[in-house]
Structure 1
Amino acid sequence: MDGGSDLNILYINTLNAMRIPQSKLRLAGSPFHRVISRAQAYPLGQIDLAIMFDNQANYRLEVLTFEVVDFPGSYHAILGRPYYAKFMAIPNYTYLKLKMLGPNDVITMSSAFSHTFMCNREHYELTTTVVNSFKLPRLEESSIPAVLDCNKLTFLMAFHSLEETKVVGNDPTDPTKTVQIGTQLSTK
């Protein structure tokens, strides 16, 4: 679970383990960032999957849209803010609990600290290996789908200020701490 993610992500290995053919994926043309450090990634596609929590006596079932990605991950999937909104789930990261309303009672999902530590460590090692390896440049090149218009791709990948900016110090005791502001801003 990742309350900071705007996406629900499903890794291709998980999709294959579920025996869902890749032909079930819909096109997804938007790139996303910060899943792999310093890399922009494109999903292979999107898929809607029914997700159920708890058991037959007290359960929640909702359909979530996942971005399916073809790069290594230490998780099966990442559930982001769309998941929290759809299930109206409330995470407690301190106690590693996730709560949501079920038809008969509150559903509580939890994990052991040792298991969470192991997953976080594995994810850190995998990310570090990918970032430091020669795979990252190839990943960036191979993740751009051929169907995208190059003009749209340039627009998506670049940030251009609409006006001139100037550097302004924001800490009088440290001249290295600066921000850039627009030169056309009003005095207010």
Structure 2
Amino acid sequence: MAIPYYTYPKLKLPGPKGDITVSSFFEQAYVSSREHFDLAATTANSTELTQLQAAVAECRPDPGKPSPSSTFIPTEETKAIAIDPSDPTKTIWISAQLTPK
């Protein structure tokens, strides 16, 4: 039966001899709210991290198999474009069907 007033940091509740009012300061409410937010964020992040680690463990590539990036074989539909003219090893592969623009 307590009634919190968030605009004015007060909490009113019925008592044996009338209403009981508990007051606070905005600074104290902000610090307390920030501490609770940080605790909740840390707890949520640790739970999500555990779930992500479990998901990543299931998706790890097989060490015996080559990775998809190392098995790329260009087809006739792709062409190499030099990114840096001074270094011919820096190239990318794009679709050969793109317009020059």
The normalised TM-score by structure 1 is 0.24
Identify which of structures 1 and 2 has the higher relative contact order when contacts are C-alpha pairs closer than 8 Å and 6+ apart. Answer: 1
The normalised TM-score by structure 2 is 0.41
Q: Which has the larger radius of gyration?
A: 2
Compare the two structures and name the one with the higher helix fraction. 2
